[in-house]
Every structure is written in structure tokens, then in C-alpha cells.
Amino acid sequence: MDSTRRSVTPSPLVLAALVTLSGCSGVDLADETRKSLRTVSVHRDIEVSGSFSGKLPGVDLTTRGTMWYSGWITAPVGAYFDVVDWSENHNRWAKAFSRRMRAADVEVGDLVREQFFRELSEADVFGSVVEWGGDAVFSLKVDYGLADGWGARGSWKPWLEVEGVLVDADGRVLWRESTSIASIDDRLPELFRPFKSPRKLRTAYRVAAKILAAELIEDLKG
């Protein structure tokens, strides 16, 4: 057994740089690489971003265009301001949404990591999945949100996107894959007043995370 083999726990900044430099396309895990890795770990720090569509209860922000929507004559002025300010408004809404999710104690990044770690540990892909210091380390990038496509009933459904990257001790990207599940997917639960029941909200994202974790692991198996 090679006693000189190194374990790796790169920082999130290094991982992000590696992902950017290596491009956005997927990278398949070679069979010989899979067999050579005795241990893998999953980085605890996850890049997470969230957003929502529509008017979400508990997240209500006005814009420069808001005051102009009161009349049909001035509404185009409001629309103009909102188009001009789209990027700024989007960032404000995303931050407000993230604060609301934290207040409800719903940490989607942690749910995704937890589910991926569990599924990976149970799958027969690598020799062992450890908490720290594997021969290679997975990083996860999570984008999530709530969509009001069922607004007529006053309900919401989650959506989720996950990118996984596996990097070795030398900084080489051994594997990368992305997967997503849309809010229209029938496997996802419908939520009424999502922030009134944080438990149901967590469950909804846990369902999404389980589906995507399984897809990523199937890709790892080759």
C-alpha cells in the first residue's frame, strides 16, 4: 500500500477557481481513477444561492417601479424602471429570500450535503467515504428557489440545481456533473404558506436533494 498518498481538503476558494478554470462541461470519472481512490470526503463549505418567482409571503420588497403600477397610464413607467433595475432588484430579492429561509431554519445547502454524503456512503462507488481528509474531495454548488406556478391555489413548489466536483490532492478535476429538478416535477411536494411550516419546507427540499444525489451518484458509477 502506498504510504505516501496524500489526503486533500482544499478551500472553497480554491475549489471555485478550479471549477472556473476547468470549464463548465461535465467530466466523467475514469474507471481506473475510481478504483484507485481509497477514501473520499465531501467539503462542508458549499456555494449556495437562492431565488424565488412571484410574490412570496414574508418576502416583500418595493422597487422604483412599484409606485407607478397604481394606474394603467403610469404602469409602463414602472415597468421601465424595473427593467433598468433588474439586476439590483434580483440581488435584493435573493438576499431577502435567503434571510427568510435562514429565519425559518431551512438551510438548503446543508440538506443537499447531508443527503449526498448519506447516499454516497451507502453506494458501492469508493472504498470509504470519510468526514475529512479523503484522497479526493467533493465540492457542491447549490442553486435553489421557490416557484409560484401554482399561484391560483396560493401554493408553491421548490426547484433545485446541484453541481458536484471531485478534486484530487494535486488539484486535478477528476469528475464534474450537474443536475437539476424543476418545480413542475410531480415528485416534488406542493407547499401552501411555505414559511408557516418550516418542517414541510425542509421536507420538500430533502425530497429534491435525494433525487439529485441519486442522479449524481449514478453518474459516478459510470
Angstrom distance (rounded) from CA 119 to CA 162:
15
Average pLDDT, the chain: 82
Contact partners, residue 76, CB within 8 Å, separation at least 6? none
pLDDT greater than 60 at residue 7: no
Question: What are the domain boundaries of the chain?
Answer: 12-55+106-221
For residue range 129-171, what is the model confidence (pLDDT) as tens digits? 999 889 999 999 999 999 876 555 568 889 999 999 999 988 9
pTM given for the model: 0.78
Q: For helices 108-122 and 198-221, what crossing angle results, to 10°?
A: 40
- What is the rounded average pLDDT of the residues 21-26? 55
Assigned CATH class of 12-55+106-221: alpha beta
H-type alpha helices, the chain? 12-21, 31-36, 75-84, 86-103, 108-122, 198-221
pLDDT at residue 205 in the model: 97
How far is Cα 162 from Cα 138, in angstroms, rounded to an integer?
12
